[in-house]
């Protein structure tokens, strides 16, 4: 029976990003009220949603015989993430401009910085 290769568990990283998004929104609400909270939530979502898309796309194929598909999925996922980020920024600034750009960009940057915690948050599959 062949051993099944496990994909990395990125749910913890995505949950940490959601937690940071919620914390920045709550902090912004305490400082600036509902307008600050909505700006922070929009900024966090603009950072979070493309990362969910990337994680969903990049881990579809696994195993050594699919190495070419894995590389192709990675490049497609990165291009899609970039395009989705640009589209979300455009959508936010045209449809619902943030009332407080400081909270919007602050939440965006802080949500992106959660990736620095990736080595601790991403659970690696056991090879034993």
Residue 5's contacts (CB-CB under 8 Å, 6 or more residues apart) are: 62, 63, 125
Domains in the chain: boundaries: 11-117
b/e burial code for range 99-108 (CB count within 10 A of at least 16 → b): ebeebbebbb
pLDDT (0 to 100) of residue 84: 96
Burial environment of residue 62 by CB neighbours within 10 A (0 to 12, 13 to 18, 19 or more):
middle
Which mean pLDDT values do the consecutive 10-residue runs of the chain (128 residues) have? 56 88 95 92 95 84 68 89 95 88 93 82 59
CB 45 within 8 A of CB 88: yes
Q: State pTM to two decimals.
A: 0.80
pLDDT (0 to 100) of residue 98: 82
The pair phi, psi for residue 60, each rounded to 5°, is: -75, -40
């Amino acid at each position: 029976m062949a051993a099944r290769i496990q994909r990395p568990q990125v749910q913890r990283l995505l949950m940490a990003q959601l937690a940071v998004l919620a914390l920045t929104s709550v902090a912004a609400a305490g400082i600036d009220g509902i307008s600050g909270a909505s700006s922070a939530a929009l900024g966090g979502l603009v950072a979070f949603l493309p990362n969910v898309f990337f994680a969903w796309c990049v881990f579809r194929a696994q195993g050594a015989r699919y190495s070419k598909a894995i590389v192709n999925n990675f490049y497609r996922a990165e291009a899609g993430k970039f395009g989705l980020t640009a589209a979300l920024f455009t959508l936010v600034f045209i449809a619902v401009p943030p009332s407080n750009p400081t909270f919007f960009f602050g939440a965006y940057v802080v949500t992106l910085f959660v990736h620095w915690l990736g080595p601790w948050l991403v659970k690696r599959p056991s090879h034993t």
